[in-house]
Structure 1
Amino acid sequence: MNQVKREEAELERIGRMIRETPVQIDLEERIMRRALSGRLSGVKAEPRRLRRTGRMLRKSAGIAAAVLLVTLLIASTEWISPTLAASIKQIPGMNSIFRLAGDLGLRNADEQGLAAVPERSDTHGGLTLKVSEVMYDGIRVTLGIERHTDVEKLQQGDISDLMTDIKLSVDGEDINTYGPLGGTGGGSFGPFLLRGKDADSRIIQFTDLQNQGGRAFPDTFDLTMAVDIQGIAEPFEITLPVVKKTYRNSIAEPIVRSVSGMTFTLETLELTPITTRLTTRIERPAGQPVDAVKDFLGYDLIDDEGNVLQEINGGTGWSASGGTALLSAALFEPLVHPGGRLTVKPFRTLSINKDGVREKEYIPEFEVTVPVSVPVPVPVPVPVPLPITEK
């Protein structure tokens, strides 16, 4: 059985599970209890609309089960066939790249209404690139981009295979001017290309560098993205509005640990409902330069309940202070549990196997535990439903 037929059979199996599983009843009962207790979206339930609401909740329960099961299917494979992708798009709520990206923070952004839907696009040579989603939480800017084309050669492979360069500007100003020392002081914005929901979508992500001495992005700005595509002379240029949607909590006081003449400093730990960003500094004894490879550390972030926050796109680092310090930044998924503490466990990577699993050597002398709290989103206006006229 080939790949397409296997996936079509898997989709049919999922369809049967959605129709037959008792999870719909459980979901409905839980949602109904929350609605009746006034906890659903912070809106008090209206008994007069209960019968109609019950029908809607039964439908929502089925959709929730479908989204859960299909998400598990997509997460288990790197490639989705066009037939399966087209079928999945027929399920309500399954068009969101953020929801299916495997990133808890982006899923939160989608579910909490913190992602904008600009629907901006550009077309050249029979290919359309569309930005379908954008999110900015004060740390990272994330774009969901899609490919639409009827040209066979442009349909081959992954959308990222076609991209040869991406240039970004903020309010008409090259993004590099927001870096340390006006873009001449090191650090990297990216952008990073991350997995989307299928071969026709990708996530483009970059961060500000204010944690490394750069300027913060404005709370509201126009982002222009120019993408060079292999085989098409004219670049694709898309301009879209970007608005910060969340508060950010920062633990700004540096925490210092030293051992054998090497000093580790936790510079900042920044939290939003979407992202956790860790910034650190490694220094050797005075006059000794750091080694950007040997001295580079990885980090595990662990909450009070033992949950390890998933790293998003790997850490970046650059030599600062004339090469005597290594400044590094890493992005992680958001903290789930409110309050408590977060433990930062630095480690050296000894080896990486073929599955990407790292053998780690932890450095207990550098371990740091800090009190934290989960930041809240900026309130998003919720439309008030019109009253139903009783007949």
Structure 2
Amino acid sequence: MEDINLDNEWKTAKERSCNKHVITPYVRQRLETVYSQIETGFVYQNTNSVDSASRRHTFKRIILTASFVTVMSGGMIASAFVSPTIAKSLWQVPLVNSVLQLASNWGISTAGGSAFMRAGDLGLQRVEEAGLVTKVAASSTHNGTQLRISQVAYDGVRMALTLESNREDLGTTLHDRIEDITLWCNGKPFQFDGPSLITNSGGTPGSVIVYYSDLERMYSTGKGLPDQFKLTAEIQITGIKQSFKLELPVQKIPSKNLMLTPRMEKSNDFTRFVVEKLEMTPMSTMIVTKTHYISPGPTTYGSESYGYGLAMNTLAYAVLDDEGQEQQWVTGDSGGRPGTKTRTGIHQILVAPFEKTPKFITIKPYFNITGPGGKPVYDEQGNWKRTYLPELEMKIPIGENKLK
């Protein structure tokens, strides 16, 4: 998980509340992350990110293997267009996988072209290549700084925007200068809890990908954003008093999403694991699972009263197609809520879209292996070691259903 400076977050929240008498959802979700860490004494491990110490540890391997990777990929990783098909093939090579994953985490470009192609997100690359991304020209300028939104993609599960600045000469990235983001749908503010609004590097100092996906609300209410709406984005940048306000039309990708509710379940000695829902789109594959408490299990971090000491809340999930290829995780509201002894845990998984509709998918729950202090333990290829739980593994049939 990204380190959060509580003093800075609290200062920003107070300044924004003085100006508007309200703490926005974007600031609130960051504060809630810090408060949760303080209350539980446990920093929740995001199994798809790498901490700064681990990045430094692995950076030496990147230096040693960069020449090999460049030759192996014909120079495509560093400087040219990488199609989703080629990118997926490269992700399957363990050594290259390590380099690509770290590059993606750091916001380093692994492809040329637009920010969507540079983001290291195979779902965005897929819709960009298919011509399903909407080009827009929304902009706002203050004090010589212009912000513009040039791309938007929305598949009914998650929305992604390319945000760019004309100022790359300030010594800091646009990502680091963003203090707050507020969104409106047809004039009504987005209301969300948890990590629903996320910003990642767009592969250059002056570009950012803004992601929105409130999967928990979608699951609990059955309602998401409309298929077509006017989006208003208000963005606060460090050092500029006025906020940037941009308006643009958003339209769902014209595809009929494939939705299944398998409600398959398996159990072991510490949890009952249920696969509730699956939705496949041209940009994402979303899977909703539930965990029900049976016993604490083998993993005990933090306070059980908040659910963080229970093994069922530290499960991670690998999603494989019918040929055994693991799908890459993509950016969005992958998370949910931890369970307790009396409350069901809900976990949403977001992975890349499948190249073709598989006959079945396999979900393989596992634990990430950690050492003293909760630090990741790596294998020889630089991947975080896993302990799979075969008793919870499930094969979900897709049958004759097709994504259209």
Same fold (TM over 0.5): yes
Q: Which runs of 5+ in 2 are unaligned?
A: 1-66, 91-95, 296-303, 371-375
Instruction: Tell me the distance in 2 between the aligned counterparts of 1:129 and 1:367.
Output: 46
Instruction: Tell me the distance in 1 between the aligned counterparts of 2:118 and 2:268.
Output: 43
Aligned match of 1:96? 114
Instruction: Tell me the distance in 2 between the aligned counterparts of 1:157 and 1:126.
Output: 16
1:330 aligns with 2:349: yes
Q: Which of 202, 209, 230 pairs up with 1:203?
A: 209
Aligned match of 1:7? none
Instruction: Tell me the distance in 1 between the aligned counterparts of 2:321 and 2:124.
Output: 20
Instruction: Tell me the distance in 2 between the aligned counterparts of 1:330 and 1:124.
Output: 39
Give the direction of change, closer, same or farther, for the CA distance of 1:238–1:333 in structure 2 (3 Å limit): same
Q: Is the 8 A contact 1:289 1:323 kept in 2?
A: no
Aligned match of 1:253? 262
Q: What does 1:242-391 align with in structure 2 at a 5 Å threshold? A: 242-245=250-253, 246-260=255-269, 262-285=271-294, 291-292=307-308, 294=310, 295-296=312-313, 297-313=315-331, 315-319=334-338, 324-351=343-370, 352-353=376-377, 357-372=383-398, 375-376=403-404
Stretch deviating more after TM superposition (306-315 or 130-139): 306-315
Give the direction of change, closer, same or farther, for the CA distance of 1:228–1:366 in structure 2 (3 Å limit): same
Q: Is the 8 A contact 2:320 2:362 kept in 1?
A: yes
CA-CA distance at 1:253 after TM superposition: 3.1
Aligned match of 1:67? 81
Q: Which of 212, 221, 228 pairs up with 2:219?
A: 212
Deviations along 1:74-130, one digit per CA (max 9) or x if unpaired, are: 96855779xxxxxx9xxxxx5421122222211111111111011111111221111
Instruction: Tell me the distance in 2 between the aligned counterparts of 1:68 and 1:275.
Output: 19
CA-CA distance at 1:261 after TM superposition: 5.2
Give the greater-gyration-radius structure (CA). Answer: 1
Q: Which of 248, 256, 274 pairs up with 1:240?
A: 248
Q: What does 1:147-226 align with in structure 2 at a 5 Å threshold? A: 147-149=165-167, 152-153=169-170, 156-176=171-191, 187-188=193-194, 190-209=196-215, 210-214=217-221, 215-226=223-234
Deviations along 1:170-229, one digit per CA (max 9) or x if unpaired, are: 1111211xx5xxxxxxx5352111231312111111113354313221010111111111
Q: Is the 8 A contact 2:321 2:358 kept in 1?
A: no
Aligned match of 1:115? 133
Q: Is the 8 A contact 1:145 1:201 kept in 2?
A: yes
Instruction: Tell me the distance in 1 between the aligned counterparts of 2:203 and 2:210.
Output: 13
Where 2:135 maps in the other structure, the secondary structure is coil
CA-CA distance at 1:311 after TM superposition: 0.7
Give the TM-score of the pair, scaled to structure 2.
0.64
Q: Is the 8 A contact 2:319 2:362 kept in 1?
A: yes
Q: Is the 8 A contact 1:98 1:196 kept in 2?
A: yes
Q: Is the 8 A contact 1:164 1:230 kept in 2?
A: yes
Q: Which runs of 5+ in 1 are unaligned?
A: 1-9, 22-64, 82-87, 89-93, 180-186, 377-391
Deviations along 1:337-391, one digit per CA (max 9) or x if unpaired, are: 3331100011122222589832222121211111235513xxxxxxxxxxxxxxx
Deviations along 1:26-50, one digit per CA (max 9) or x if unpaired, are: xxxxxxxxxxxxxxxxxxxxxxxxx
Stretch deviating more after TM superposition (318-327 or 198-207): 318-327
Give the residue type in structure 2 aligned to 1:196: G
Q: Is the 8 A contact 2:196 2:214 kept in 1?
A: no
Stretch deviating more after TM superposition (131-140 or 116-125): 116-125
Aligned match of 2:157? 139
Where 1:105 maps in the other structure, the secondary structure is helix
Give the residue type in structure 2 aligned to 1:363: L
CA-CA distance at 1:149 after TM superposition: 2.5
Q: Is the 8 A contact 2:199 2:211 kept in 1?
A: yes
Instruction: Tell me the distance in 2 between the aligned counterparts of 1:280 and 1:125.
Output: 47
Instruction: Tell me the distance in 1 between the aligned counterparts of 2:331 and 2:123.
Output: 13
Q: Is the 8 A contact 2:107 2:119 kept in 1?
A: no
Instruction: Tell me the distance in 1 between the aligned counterparts of 2:184 and 2:347.
Output: 24
Give the direction of change, closer, same or farther, for the CA distance of 1:67–1:333 in structure 2 (3 Å limit): same
Instruction: Tell me the distance in 1 between the aligned counterparts of 2:357 and 2:305.
Output: 40
Q: Is the 8 A contact 2:234 2:245 kept in 1?
A: yes
Q: What does 1:72-91 align with in structure 2 at a 5 Å threshold? A: 78=106
Instruction: Tell me the distance in 2 between the aligned counterparts of 1:167 and 1:363.
Output: 41
